[in-house]
Amino acid sequence: METSMSPKICPKNILNVVLFSFFFVNIFNEILCGPATIDPLKVKKKPGYRPSTGGLQPGEIVYEDVTPTTDEPEKDFYMFSVTDIKGKTVSLEEYRGMVTLVVNVASECGYTDSHYKALVKLQNTLAPSGKFTVLAFPCNQFGAQEPKDEPSIEKFAKEKYGVNFPMFSKINVVEKDIPEAWKFLEDFSRLVPNWNFWKYLINPSGHVIATWGPWIPVEDVIEQITEAVHAAADDLVVSDTIHEEL
């Protein structure tokens, strides 16, 4: 008499099948959809991250991990000193608490006219708040379009455009002899100028929050700059209120 016997199911075999299926599904998913990516909107909310513009189009903001690995204090733009256009050493600390737009300018560039006019207008609009200023650094490294000395540069900017924001001595922004303040901007943002009129937007704490190349008109980013200034002004009001209550 024949007896039918059901095959024994081994738990180990079941586990192997499940693991194989999981592995196969993951491989199939990556082939169709590509590897998993991190949502930058979620990343930027994590503690230990700071704003940066590395890797995206100028003006776009992403967040990168800056959790300290040593006891060394974090640097910021306002920690440094620079030389103004008259040869005087100036501590950038005097701009702490303000939003600043740092620009490498040139007198003979195709972007000179449009940028100087827009920067003067921006200064006239936002500087009265006491929370904003443009900081202009002449540079002759791109197309040799800032060949004059500092007195001539200052005279040109003021007489032709009515420049009313701080100007500094002529500097290098690439290769060698870069001032520490500019090295910080480039290291922090991971973006180095490749022409005149690069624009770095700095928050009241001295960190880069956005940067734009010369092909981005100032008029196109006024809204973002204005929002940063309003946020800085709001922080000041809150701080003053707390101080009064104490």
Per-residue model confidence (pLDDT) at position 221? 96
Domains of the chain: 43-245 (3.40.30.10)
pLDDT at 74: 83
Model-level pTM greater than 0.85? no
Beta strands in the chain (DSSP E): 49-52, 62-65, 81-83, 89-91, 99-105, 132-138, 199-202, 208-212
Non-local CB neighbours of 135 within 8 Å, separated by 6+ positions: 95, 100, 101, 102, 103, 165, 166, 168
- pLDDT single digits (tens) 87-113: 999 999 999 999 999 999 999 999 999
Smallest CA-to-CA distance from 216 within 136, 101, 138, 127 is with 101
How many residues can be counted in the chain?
Answer: 246
Q: What's residue 234's pLDDT?
A: 78
H-run or E-run covering 226: helix 222-245
Question: SS3 of 209, please?
Answer: strand
pLDDT along the chain (246 residues), means of 10: 52 51 41 31 31 43 42 83 98 98 98 98 97 98 98 98 98 96 94 96 96 96 95 62 32
Tokens of 161: 């455009």
Instruction: Note the pLDDT of residue 8.
Output: 55
Q: What is the pLDDT of residue 149?
A: 98
From the list 78, 77, 141, 138, the residue with the least C-alpha distance to 105 is 138
DSSP assignment of 151-169 equals HHHHHHHHHHH---S-BB-
Instruction: Report the pLDDT value the prediction gives residue 7, as an integer from 0 to 100.
Output: 52
Tell me what pLDDT residue 220 has: 96
pLDDT score, position 127: 97
The neighbouring-strand residues paired with 138 are: 105
Q: How confident is the model at residue 12, as a pLDDT?
A: 52
Is 109 among the catalytic positions?
yes
**DSSP code string of 136-148:** EEE---STT---S
CB atoms within 10 A of CB 59: 16
